[in-house]
A and B are shown apart, each in its own frame.
Chain A
């Protein structure tokens, strides 16, 4: 659907873009139609995913990267994802506290998103918000996600380059990274590198990378940062940006780049399909008197759970 708002977003109107993001997050049909006509105008922004252990300083690293990209004259969009409470449906979105010094910079746009019950660490709207930032003309789009395990695979699907952040002193907890997260890293960061145990953390990561053998992954760089120093002496953030650029140059325009673009597109389509199916199933359940009616029968062993589920899903 071609609307006035679509034009305004393409011209870089931040307010229009911000409103569109909200409507997409709320799944307003008109906004989805608008995104359809915007999509052809996306694909220029470079997406960097940022994830890592809780408390590893993800927001501080993002803040320092914003400063560096601004220094290079690039416009930076940020999507910061925090978890929605499964109990209340509400969320406290506080990642931008560490980035507020950029609040008045018109070349920086920071948007907080709640996961809203999406299974992955990324909000189900993250892809959409990234698309809008892209259409608004942001050159770099940083996506910061909830710092927990396996679900962070989603980061890689959305990003051109994924950075995974850890800190010294986690001891065996660094092993927690091994379960899935290490596989998605294009660049590994040991932040708070002025802390004791930094050498050991780097050694552990190196060892874990070696265990993975000599595939393309052997080229993963491990960068030490003290992101709280911003771009100051010894912060390591310039080295991190260089590592991101090196990763980009390795595959940009090549077969690996095309593969990633396909993966990203497939993930996006798959997400939408799952979302729509879940929505239809929920509607069907409501029509049939909700899950409670079925649950009573299953709990009383009058029906088995598979038959109950198949009844709900029939001809969906």
Chain B
């Protein structure tokens, strides 16, 4: 066998930050992308107006561990299920989906039911997001990838 990786025992973590749908407000997505990169993760950023199918295809090509969706348009009850479906169609349900944006509390149970892992509310600090990555996402990644 070859030498094992010794420098860093931890697996890298790769996250796709995407903006599906039609709204053009990408400041939040960019702030989150920057915060995740500053916390030491590799962040793939795709820009505005991604279709759910584009999000899924990109996630597969980039082999990301998680997808963060920023949705400000109010279409979260359409877009989250569509992304989950697109991932399922590619047998990629193992990719963790989280999100943020303008999402009323009443809608959270619905999103949870379809498998969205975590929703960050407006005003959530970037520290909170990084804590979720370390506390919740990283154990999943390490269990899955070995």
Contacts and interface: CB of A to CB of B under 8 A. Distances in A.
A117 to B, nearest CB: 9
Contacts of A104: 51, 53-54, 57
Interface residues of A, number: 38
A29 interface: yes
B37 to A, nearest CB: 4
Interface stretch (B41-49, B77-85, B100-108, B119-127): B41-49
Interface string A10-26: 00001100110111011
Given A25-B12, A85-B37, A282 B6 contact: yes
B41 A90 contact: yes
Contact of B2 (A14, A26, A33, A93): A33
A92 B37 contact: yes
A103 B54 contact: yes
A94 B45 CA distance: 5
Contacts of A112: 42, 44, 62
A23 B2 CA distance: 14
B86 to A, nearest CB: 10
Interface in A110-168: 110-112, 114
A21 B92 CA distance: 17
Given A18-B60, A282-B7, 7 more contacts: A18-B63, A27-B5, A32-B2, A85-B37, A96-B44, A97-B45, A100-B54
A26 B11 contact: yes
Given A29-B2, A92-B33, A15 B60 contact: yes
Contacts of B61: 14, 18, 103, 109-111
Interface in B30-76: 33-34, 36-47, 50-51, 53-54, 57-58, 60-63
Contacts of B43: 90-93
Interface residues of B, number: 38
A202 B11 CA distance: 46
A307 interface: no
Interface of A: 14-15, 18-19, 21-23, 25-29, 32-33, 84-85, 88-94, 96-97, 100, 103-104, 109-112, 114, 276, 279-280, 282-283
B5 to A, nearest CB: 4
A19 B50 CA distance: 23
14 contacts: A14-B61, A18-B60, A26-B12, A27-B5, A29-B2, A29-B3, A32-B2, A84-B42, A89-B40, A90-B36, A91-B42, A97-B46, A103-B57, A279-B7
B1 interface: yes
Nearest to A78: B61
A279 B46 CA distance: 34
Interface of B: 1-7, 11-12, 14, 33-34, 36-47, 50-51, 53-54, 57-58, 60-63, 90-92, 145
A16 to B, nearest CB: 10
A97 B50 CA distance: 10
Contacts of B91: 15
Nearest to B4: A29
Nearest to A276: B3
Nearest to A94: B45
Most chain-B CB neighbours within 10 Å: which of A28, A88, A91? Answer: A91
Contacts of A29: 1-5
A96 B61 CA distance: 11
Nearest to A90: B37
A83 to B, nearest CB: 11
A282 B39 CA distance: 23
B63 A88 contact: no
Contacts of B7: 279, 282
B68 to A, nearest CB: 13
A181 to B, nearest CB: 26
A133 B51 CA distance: 25
B42 A22 contact: no
Given A25-B12, A93-B45, A100 B58 contact: yes
A94 B16 CA distance: 10
Contact of B3 (A26, A89, A111, A279): A279
